[in-house]
């Protein structure tokens, strides 16, 4: 059967790239035509992604952006930050749409990019031309877009936990968040922080109050309706391969009742295909691992000094809803495909 759209993946040998490939191979409307990587050149896809053995005969190619994008409807970039941006001008010139999983186009402020990513932006004139790919907030903008900046994994988790309060106009002032992530979020290249003998028996914080996802969370929450928003964020590495679990402490006016807050969360996500608000339990990683689903919940505290604390809890798979799956979701919306195409599986339990 002839498929409607043609896609290429640039940077296909990493964990995110493998998840993009897996989803595109199952896509009813999008044909995966080319996969580039500077690693595994000429080797079969299964050499980097053993789970795709016998799923495809495709091989990794070493291709420049112009060659990769030629004749494509969409190019998905699984490249690292500060690398992806260098490829974008040639892909734009080809006429292809772009979904970028790096952080290179999530921000609109070049100074913020330099501060949090440690380098001047390679093409600052393109900042602001990408739509931030959080469907639960920007679905209509994504539908009209040609270039998507897919959100970071921490950012997605925290934003979806706080979004109902922001949209209601109830999120005002500082928020404190602790978020725990699996090792795959650090990428396929081995490093001291992801070395199994240390990671498997350890919990530790890193990039405390300085993580690169801070500015995109600030921009997103402010656009969603938060007032005087500020975030104190502590990321924690956990002995997990996949999964991200965020606990955010927000504060709302005492006049807002627990019943109103609970209804706010339920109503916010009632029609969202990939956001669940569990009623009989709190969100948990094992319930969403391996899937594009995210679970969101809240625990409503007592009133103190005229403010009520709302503990927002959210969980997702950092490689899927926090990465490649959300990129496919945005691609589907942009191309006019079913939003859930190739993403509907519920994952596994436990």
Q: Which residues are catalytic?
A: 153
Q: Return all residues near 74 (Cβ < 8 A) that are at least 6 apart.
A: 5, 6, 7, 8, 30, 96, 97, 98, 99, 331, 334, 335
User: Environment class of residue 83 by beta-carbon count within 10 Å: exposed (0-12), middle (13-18) or buried (19+)?
Assistant: middle
Kindly state the tokens that stand for 174. 């500082």
Output the CA–CA distances (angstroms, integers) from residue 57 to 20, 40, 42, 172, in the order listed.
Answer: 16, 14, 11, 53
Task: Name the CA dihedral angle for 321, 127, 158, 269, rounded to a multiple of 10 degrees.
Answer: -60
* Pairing outcome for strands 172-181 and 227-237: parallel
The whole-angstrom separation of Cα 256 and Cα 8 is 48
The whole-angstrom separation of Cα 10 and Cα 97 is 13
Task: Name the CA dihedral angle for 170, 171, 176, 177, rounded to a multiple of 10 degrees.
Answer: 90
The whole-angstrom separation of Cα 160 and Cα 283 is 12
Task: Name the CA dihedral angle for 167, 171, 176, 179, rounded to a multiple of 10 degrees.
Answer: -10
* Pairing outcome for strands 275-276 and 244-253: unpaired
The whole-angstrom separation of Cα 324 and Cα 53 is 20
Instruction: Tell me phi and psi for residue 127, to 5 degrees.
Output: -65, 135
Q: Return all residues near 180 (Cβ < 8 A) that are at least 6 apart.
A: 203, 235, 236, 237, 238, 240, 244, 245, 246
């Amino acid at each position: 059967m002839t498929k409607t759209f043609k896609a290429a993946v640039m940077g296909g040998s990493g964990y995110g790239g493998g998840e993009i490939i897996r989803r595109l191979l199952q896509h009813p409307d999008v044909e995966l035509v080319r996969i580039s990587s500077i690693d595994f050149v000429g080797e079969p896809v299964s050499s980097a992604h053993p789970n795709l053995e016998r799923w495809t005969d495709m091989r990794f190619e070493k291709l420049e952006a112009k060659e990769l994008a030629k004749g494509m409807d969409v190019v998905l970039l699984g490249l690292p930050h500060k690398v992806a941006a260098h490829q974008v001008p040639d892909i734009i010139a080809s006429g292809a749409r772009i979904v970028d999983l790096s952080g290179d186009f999530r921000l609109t402020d070049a100074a913020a990019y330099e501060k949090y990513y440690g380098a001047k932006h390679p093409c600052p004139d393109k900042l602001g031309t990408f739509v931030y790919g959080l469907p639960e907030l920007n679905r209509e903008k994504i539908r009209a877009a040609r270039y998507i900046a897919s959100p970071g994994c921490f950012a997605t988790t925290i934003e979806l936990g706080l979004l109902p309060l922001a949209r209601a106009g109830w999120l005002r002032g500082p928020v404190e968040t602790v978020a725990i992530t699996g090792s795959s979020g650090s990428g396929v290249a081995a490093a001291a922080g992801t070395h199994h003998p240390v990671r498997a028996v350890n919990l530790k914080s890193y990039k405390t109050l300085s993580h690169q996802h801070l500015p995109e969370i600030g921009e997103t929450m402010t656009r969603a309706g938060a007032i005087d928003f500020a975030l104190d964020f502590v990321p924690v590495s956990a002995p997990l391969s996949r999964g991200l679990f965020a606990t955010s402490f927000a504060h709302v006016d005492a006049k807002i009742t627990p019943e109103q807050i609970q209804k706010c969360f339920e109503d916010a996500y009632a029609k969202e295909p990939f956001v669940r608000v569990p009623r009989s339990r709190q969100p948990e990683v094992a319930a969403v691992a391996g899937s594009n689903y995210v679970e969101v919940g809240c625990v409503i505290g007592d009133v103190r000094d005229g403010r009520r604390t709302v503990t927002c809890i959210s969980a997702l798979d950092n490689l899927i809803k926090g990465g490649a799956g959300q990129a496919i979701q945005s691609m589907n919306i942009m191309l006019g495909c079913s939003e859930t195409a190739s993403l509907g599986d519920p994952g596994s339990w436990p």
